Chains A and B, each alone.
Chain A
Amino acid sequence: MSATLTTCPYCGTGCMLYLLSDEQGRLVGVEPSAGHPVSRGQLCVKGWNAHAFVHHPDRLKTPLIRRQGALVPAGWDEALNLVHQRFRQIASAHGPDSLVFFSSAKVGNEENYLLMKLARAGYGTNNVDHCARLCHSSTVTGLVETLGSGAMTNTVACLDETDLVLVIGSNTTEQHPLIGSRILQAVQRGCRLIVADGRRIKLSRHADLHLRHRNGTDVALLNGIMQQILELGLEDRDFINARTENFSALQQSLAAFTPDRVAAITGLQADEIIAAARMLGSAQRAMLFYAMGITQHSHGVDNVRAVSNLALLTGNLGRPGTGVNPLRGQNNVQGACDMGALPDVLTGYQKVADPAMRERFASAWGRPLPERPGLMATHAYDAALADRVRAFLVLGENPLLSEANQAHVAKALARLEFLVVVDIFPTETTAVADVVLPAACYAEKDGTFTSTERRVQRFRRALAPPGEARADWEILSALLERCGISADYTGPSQIMEEIAAVTPSYRGISYPRLEESGLQWPCPDHDHPGTPILHQQNCTRGKGRFSPVDFRPSRELPDAAYPLLLNTGRTGMHWHTGTMTRRSHLLDREEHSAFIEIHPEDAARLSIRDRQQVSVESRRGGVRVMATLTDRVPPGQVFMPFHFVEGAANALTNNALDPESGIPEFKVCGVRITPC
């Protein structure tokens, strides 16, 4: 009958909860942590159900090796030897860059660190990446350029002292519910709210201003707002003079974004844009929040730059109740980035291209390191189809359902010589793997996650893994050992010591210091209390840089053949490809099949009734799903969540990539719908 304090395995909000077990050691429930600064005794529905999938009978319990076409049980040594041997063979035949390592934003910091160490020191390639490529790679690229750090600048508690919240491209009450609810509480106490989102999301019902701009026109909208802020003289001159650079270039770039022109691009009224400018320009303290609605575009980095420009223009940076606040999606996507599970950086964003950085790691690890930045995950599929890469190791990801353009991904995976997947449940991707390794889930191991507010906090083992499943750090250590790199760690705590030694922003972090509610990085030494608010005196890069951007339309807009704009995302009940939540009874019951939201006007025109099966097609594929008639979506736009294998939104989406961040355009493509 234990109560184990741990971190929620779902979103990046980073709530803490107790996992409760009975006398037999089975998990029977969840109770929120009262003292945690974000959860404060509360959780969202996913958190309340965080125990529910753990004992599901589908759990992977033994390693599997493909023999004569079928995955059959094997021993750990046999499976690990096979993985190592095949990787070695392929690397020596085709070079180390023929291997690709997909890390995971669901596993701990220590595990991400070991995976990138395995890729770089073990097999000699920088081809390591993870699903941040699909969610906030635009943020990392954009904000590093403008501010010097690609993370949320402020802290969730800042919502208690802000005057205005702008939420653009984030369905916060469903995707970061305990941040969304904190926004609602702020509104209750009189804080003003602007929501910029084509969909009528729950937050919009509480907004002072709801801007329903067309998907993919964020740059025009934000530039239009900034143009008006300047026009009205509401910019923060003192801040601009003291803390920023490149202002005149911004000023020039904005001139063309007059309200009328922006109205024509975005579908808004000119006075809505002016109203937003007035509100933003006159607020003492404004917090800007954004998520996938900003990042998942072929111009995602430009969108991020525009948000950053707006914060700098209004001086909303470096103070309580302000900031550029990208909401990181997965429980540990911030940490996976911090740990260098990215092709161009080591831990703490230390560039692989920088010889001094490489040297630091080479001497810590006793191996020379590859110099050339590796492949982005989203480029790996083309590389596989061109035989430039031949083997993937995928840790706790299900790219067959989560990447844009499913058919393209399926073809690429089929082309590989060797595919290894480490996961807790069978998925669409394990089904096509050559080796499947069963992993412990978050409740069965120790480690740390880093939440969206840069809070490094513990998750703790509440029970033993099922069957022969092992913690990811144990699996990765075993592979490191096979590469001749000593990895006899006593546990994740010792791995964190190694991370701290090579990572300036984590240097002061150690397990004993994380006992209560964790520490927010940067935490440069053992006495440092952590940093709730970034860029207080100076930006990480020195001056905040205005980075002017022009409006570029999305790559595939609706046309005569595919007349509706498809927007994709998630629901509040499910997590990504549903591996865990579709195996959690209450969550699955609440939202149990694939659907498409369609406006009643469009439905009437197409003779589609509510709950009718429809066929949805794009240039890349087609699916059948249930129609949900709702005015949540504007006319001309439809919305699908990507959780459902039986109606996979990503069979339709466009894998057009942002040229800088490599993020796919999940939020805009053309589709046509016909009743079945």
Chain B
Amino acid sequence: MLKRLDRSDLEKLLSALATGYRLLTPQRLADGTRLLRPHGEGALALQGEPVQRKPTEAFFPQHDPLLRIGEQGEVTTCDPPVRPVALFGLNAADLGCIAFIDRFFADPPADDHYLARRKDALLVGLTGFSGPGGDVLPPANGMCDLELLAFGQNWLGVPWTPRGEALLEGFPDGEQAEVEELLESARTRGNPAQDLLEKAAGLVASEVVPDDFWREVGDRCILCSGCNLACPTCTCFCVEDRQEQAVTLRSRVWDSCQFDAFMREASGHNPLGTEALRTRRRIHHKLAADVTRWGEFGCLLCGRCDRVCPTGIGIQAVAAEILARFGP
């Protein structure tokens, strides 16, 4: 069941979503930042670079209260809001990232706090000609409830779940043929970044990248932690306890493996005590360790770490440098 939506159909779909969900849509804020914001707050920005903040934030926020410990030691959990969220406008990489961490958080022991926000949430992909300046984005092929492929002034609605199907009910039928051009254009473009990553991963896994290289790259790290905070597949958090009168509020907070304290032992010794070792670990984790654990890269090439790193050592930049220096 494919549907063809024009602009007014799209508005209808969005209002339907807004009644059942806390709907977030891509919007461009006054300074130019493109973010997922509550629908209706500002104008929709249906084309553009990936939304800057990682969409996984909706299920795993930067600062998230977990529980309260009372005077007598009684524990009450902080329950996430009941109204489920709908994320509209996700590209294939971001949908891949959400799927990646869904599996991680659902893996036993399951993370109830994450799942409470995630379970009734709705994901809407936005692909096709909706990249920067109307550039083509590859189709998501699943990983969401429904996908909208932008072409011309229209969108081809593709349902991937029964919920997606229900939402598309009533819109005029569409044809696969209408998006042939965009599928072709995505196909011919290939995925050079993926090729780069695979080649670099091979070199990282075969240990041909010397320590000196990591020292050189690590020397450029200014320890901002942005690469981890921006990465949708980064799931590490630390626990913050704050005491107000006799009540302790325990929250989890996004952590970063670029920090020295991330691995520092109580003795003060740190097996990963230099930026070189930590940068190596960050890249190694995504390109080698995750492959062992999950059978796929921990990087879906969303582009955020390269964009946020003030000194140009995001994963693609490092991969390119590895390939240039140690590749065939």
Contact = CB atoms under 8 A, between A and B. Distances in A.
B308 A30 contact: no
A208 interface: no
Interface in B24-39: 29-35, 37-38
B279 to A, nearest CB: 13
A30 B225 CA distance: 12
Contact of A188 (B32, B222, B308, B312): B312
A585 B238 contact: yes
Interface residues of A, number: 52
Interface string A34-67: 1110000111110110011000110000000000
A181 B63 contact: no
A532 interface: no
Chain B contact-residue range equals 35 or more
A102 to B, nearest CB: 30
Interface string A219-234: 0000000000000000
Contacts of A589: 238, 259, 261
Nearest to B239: A585
Interface string A511-524: 00001110000000
A392 B195 CA distance: 66
A631 to B, nearest CB: 13
Given A32-B308, A188-B312, A41 B52 contact: yes
A586 B308 contact: no
A42 B308 contact: yes
Contact of A34 (B33, B57, B226): B33
B9 interface: no
A586 B238 contact: yes
A1 B238 contact: no
Interface SS of chain B? loop
A383 interface: no
Nearest to A183: B311
A16 B33 CA distance: 11
A28 interface: yes
Given A44-B224, A202-B219, A590-B260, A178 B310 contact: yes
B272 to A, nearest CB: 13
Interface stretch (B69-77, B125-133, B240-248, B288-296): B240-248
B224 A36 contact: no
Contact of A28 (B38, B63, B260): B63
Interface string B282-319: 00000000000000000000000001111110000000
Contacts, number: 125
A193 B115 CA distance: 50
A45 B253 contact: no
A173 B312 contact: no
Contacts of A20: 53, 62
B220 interface: yes
A5 interface: yes
Contact of B31 (A1, A5, A185, A592): A5
A56 B249 CA distance: 11
B64 A28 contact: yes
A570 B255 CA distance: 23
A380 B32 CA distance: 47
Interface in B43-84: 52-53, 57, 61-64, 81
Contacts of B29: 3, 5, 18
Given A29-B62, A516-B31, 4 more contacts: A32-B52, A51-B63, A181-B310, A589-B238
Nearest 8 Cβ contacts at the A-B interface: A35-B32, A29-B62, A181-B310, A35-B31, A57-B244, A34-B33, A585-B240, A42-B310
Interface of A: 1, 3, 5, 16, 18, 20, 22-23, 27-36, 41-45, 47-48, 51-52, 56-57, 173-174, 177-178, 180-182, 184-185, 188, 202, 205-206, 515-517, 572, 585-586, 589-590, 592, 611
Interface of B: 29-35, 37-38, 52-53, 57, 61-64, 81, 219-220, 222-226, 229, 238, 240, 242-244, 253-256, 259-261, 268, 307-312
21 contacts: A5-B30, A22-B61, A23-B81, A32-B226, A34-B31, A34-B34, A36-B31, A41-B33, A44-B224, A48-B229, A51-B63, A57-B242, A57-B243, A173-B222, A178-B310, A181-B310, A181-B311, A184-B220, A517-B31, A572-B223, A586-B256
